[in-house]
Amino acid sequence: MPRTMLVTGGAGFIGANFVHLVLRTYPQDRVVVFDKLTYAGNLENLAEVADDPRYTFVHADICDRAAVEQAVTEHGVDTIVNFAAESHVDRSITEPDAFIKTDVNGTHTLLEVAREHGLRYHQVSTDEVYGHVADGASAEGDPLEPRSPYAASKAAGDLLVHAYHVTYGMHTTITRGTNNVGPFQYPEKVVPLFATNALEGGRLPVYGDGLQERDYQWVGDHCEAIDLVIREGVSGEAYNVGTGTSITNMAMVEVLLDTLDKSRDLIQHVEDRPGHDRRYCVDVSKIEKLGWTSRHTPREAIARTVQWYVDNPGWWEPIKSGAFREYYEKNYGSRAVLESPGA
Ligand code: NAD
Ligand code: DAU
């Protein structure tokens, strides 16, 4: 069945990769990207599809109900896929307000419009809603125990989606993805930050001992999973998406430096992130039963991502100047340095 999707946050990292996947895979589908273009939104991410007649861009905020209504009716939207969010944990610690507005109130606004117009609704969520997992892997039925303002705002979004399914019988699904890496990721996130710092000859600020564990997955794999769940997922259900294996941040840094053929001396251990979740790991058997499988290990995903940043300085160099410098100074300027191998 051809679809017309409202892809909110489609000018961001994962949303843009998803738009490319949909337009490449489904010749009959149409995509309306609905994006506020915050610091993380970038129309360069969509430059390749700018002239595609199946693609439209709407510059607006998901908290603006009238704008969402207008986009839905004007373009005959049948499906909302919500990627729009404030997505960086460190920013949620210093400035949580925008997270509550977009990730909670914005999700609610989209659900209201979807309810009124009888639309299919998919929520792109995160494994962070489960909180720190000391061992084993989080399953979809596990309690949500978010521990950062970002994770709490995403968990609130998930709960609203579930409530709208139960209360109003809406056709909803949720995916909970692990750490994505790949093209177009804003260089505040650890892999693009470290890759671009290393390429610029700078240090890599590892939080604490660097033995925290994350499941770094290739963004294309994650987008294929979201696409499958939109088309074949069971209404009312949530699906974890990841490789199913987590690696330490130190292992991630080693892959990154080896790919660039750079010295471990660039590593600098700095004061930890407050409330830092030590480990995430998800059980992916539910989405595997739906017919999806991850195509990259975390190490392959990291190496492939680093190569993309090597090949695309024209994308990230302009971002790392200007407003990004202010952010960098604010987040890293006053962090105590714990230890540097090269010191
Ligand atoms: P991103 O920060 O790169 O992009 C977010 C996009 O949303 C930007 O284009 C931004 O302009 C837009 N946006 C923000 N507020 C908006 C608003 N009020 N109205 C309209 N647009 C708005 O984020 P990302 O890394 O691509 O993440 C996309 C989604 O996936 C988020 O919901 C995030 O929680 C989730 N997620 C991310 C990861 C990850 O590793 N990056 C993993 C799992 C889940
Ligand atoms: O798990 C999914 C989540 O992954 C997504 O929901 C979030 O949107 C996304 O930002 C990401 O959250 P993390 O906090 O795990 O990602 P980040 O890239 O910020 O950090 C990854 C790990 O690296 C984490 O353990 C913190 C550490 N880190 C991060 C930065 C930015 C450092 O050691 N140094 C850094 O400078």
Write the pLDDT tens digit of every residue in 23-41. 999 999 999 999 999 999 9
- From ligand 2's centre to the CA of 250, what distance in Å? 13
Q: Is 152 in the pocket of ligand 1 (CB under 6 A)?
A: no
Kindly report, residue by residue over 212-247, the tens digit of the pLDDT. Answer: 999 999 999 999 999 999 999 999 999 999 999 999
Q: Looking at residue 179, what is its pLDDT?
A: 98
Whether 237 contacts 140, CB under 8 Å: yes
pLDDT grade, residue 83 (50/70/90)? very high
CA 58–ligand 2 middle distance (angstroms): 29
pLDDT-based confidence at 201, cuts 50/70/90? very high
Share of the chain above pLDDT 70, in %: 99
150 is catalytic: yes
Instruction: Show me where the domains of the chain are located.
Output: 4-181+218-241
* φ and ψ of 147, to 5 deg: -130, -5
pLDDT (0 to 100) of residue 341: 72
Annotated catalytic residue: which of 127, 158, 188, 224? 127
Query: Which atom of ligand 1 lies nearest, measured to the CA of 14?
Result: 26
Specify the pLDDT at position 342.
63
The alpha carbon of 343 and the centre of ligand 1 are apart by a number of angstroms equal to 37
Average pLDDT, the chain: 97
**Average pLDDT for 166-176:** 98
What's the pLDDT tens digit per position in 289-302?
A: 999 999 999 999 99
What was the pLDDT predicted at 322? 81
Q: Tell me which residue of 39, 213, 19 sits closest to 124, measured CA to CA.
A: 19
Among protein residues, the one whose CA lies closest to atom 5 of ligand 1:
12
Tokens of 257: 């430096």
Give the DSSP per-residue string, 314-341. HHHHHHHTTHHHHHHHHHHTTPPEEE-T
Element (H, E) at 260: helix 249-260
Burial 139-173, CB ≥16 within 10 A → b, else e: ebebebebbbbbbbbbbbbbebbbebbeeeebbbb
pLDDT at residue number 89 = 98
- Answer yes or no: is pLDDT of 275 > 70: yes
Confidence of residue 343 (pLDDT cuts 50, 70, 90): low
Q: Which of 6, 62, 83 to mutate to test the pocket of ligand 1 (most atoms within 8 A of CB)?
A: 83
Whose atoms come closest to the Cα of 15: which ligand?
1
Residue-wise pLDDT for 90-141, tens only, equals 999 999 999 999 999 999 999 999 999 999 999 999 999 999 999 999 999 9
Cβ of residue 270 lying under 6 Å from some atom of ligand 2: no
Does position 156 have pLDDT exceeding 70, yes or no? yes
**Phi and psi dihedrals of 197, rounded to 5?**
-60, -45
Check pocket membership of 128 for ligand 2, CB cut-off 6 A: yes
Assess whether the C-beta atom of 207 lies below 6 angstroms from ligand 2: yes
- pLDDT class of 340 with cuts at 50, 70, 90: confident
Ligand nearest to the CA of 217: 1
SS3 61: coil
pLDDT in tens, 247-264: 999 999 999 999 999 999
Whether 128 is catalytic? yes
pLDDT score of 1: 82
Q: Which two tokens stand for residue 80?
A: 């909302």
Q: Are 217 and 247 in contact (CB under 8 A)?
A: no
Residue 97 Cα to ligand 2 midpoint, Å, equals 19
**The pLDDT value given to residue 286:** 98
Catalytic one among 61, 90, 103, 128?
Answer: 128
CATH of domain 4-181+218-241: 3.40.50.720
Give the amino acid at 312.
N
Residue 269 above 90 pLDDT? Answer: yes
140 catalytic, yes or no? Answer: no
> Hey, is 179 helix, strand or coil?
coil
Starting from the CA of residue 273, give the closest ligand: 2
